[in-house]
Amino acid sequence: MPQLQVQHRSVAIMSKPAKPELSRLIPEIINWLKARGYQVVIDRETSVYCKGVESIMREELAGRSLDYVLLLGGDGTLLAAARALGKAGIPVLGVNLGTLGFLAEVTLDNLYAALDAAEQGKASVEDRAMLHCTIERGEQCLTSQDALNEVVVGKNNVARLNNFDLYIDNMFVSAFRADGIIVSTPTGSTAYSLAAGGPILTPAVDAFVITPVSAHSLTHRPLVVPDTSEIVVVVKNAKEDSFVSFDGQLGQPAVEGDRIRCRRSERNFKLVRLQSKFFDVLRTKLKWGLR
């Protein structure tokens, strides 16, 4: 993996709103960065904790020449950053203020050690594959989104099963009756897909996982397909709407005949990593036994 290079001495800070520790942390971090000659910009959500620092919308950060973005929050905040920054290829260093923290791996205790590592070129940058998804209705494209974790075709009405047809590279795979179906990246394989019984993929695997959620047939199992595949889910609910969500944060309804088309995005998300390895993270987060 390539090392993080500090060239512009310019850093942005993003944070999860309403975290009480941020009122102390944000000014301290900004002072630390400025004392080392960094220019600092913050997103609007962070501006409530520090006055006198330039603040802009998250979507505008992609237009800045930044060495990296320091993210203070949980994996959900990092997923939002992936959509905002993926197109610009700006690395993100995640500091975990949440509970699980598969992606935001740095703890508060190690915050300044992580900043030192970034300063000294001792942090690496890992490319994470993203999904590109469109929702099509006839000849019309209703929406187009990228997702770092997963695209989920679920249901609006909790009392009914969804009906889907699944195609891979224009080949019919199966008709499904299920609560939903998940198309996941390797990064997302430890998220909703894992909870639904899907396998764990290491981040470097060039594949996607298709995981049915509570399928009506016990023979419907998760599928692992190459990330060169085009995956199409066709909604077959005659009377009920479905709902398509992207990383559990954005979404919109889908109706009978809509086609949800997924492929690998042309953009990768750049995640700053320190010393911990993928299996170290799994052992810690999933409470696996140690030798």
| Residues designated catalytic | 75
Helix and strand numbers (H, E) in the chain are 5, 17
Going from the C-alpha of 223 to that of each of 138, 177, 179, the distances in angstroms are 27, 16, 17
Going by the DSSP 8-state scheme, the letter that residue 20 receives in this structure is T
- Residue 18 and residue 49 in contact, taking contact as beta carbons nearer than 8 Å: no
Rounded distance between C-alpha atoms, residue 92 and residue 104, angstroms = 9
List the beta strands (DSSP E) in 97-206: 124-137, 140-147, 150-155, 162-168, 171-178, 180-184
- Residue 128 and residue 148 in contact, taking contact as beta carbons nearer than 8 Å: yes
Going from the C-alpha of 64 to that of each of 16, 27, 39, 68, 276, the distances in angstroms are 21, 21, 11, 10, 29
Longest dimension (CA), the chain: 62
**Which residue in this structure is represented by tokens 């891979």?**
168
Rounded distance between C-alpha atoms, residue 146 and residue 265, angstroms = 7
Tokens of 22: 């941020």
Going from the C-alpha of 259 to that of each of 37, 49, 140, 234, the distances in angstroms are 50, 44, 10, 5
What is the chain's alpha carbon radius of gyration, rounded to the nearest angstrom?
A: 20
Q: Where are the alpha helices (DSSP H) in the chain?
A: 22-35, 75-85, 111-119, 192-195, 278-285
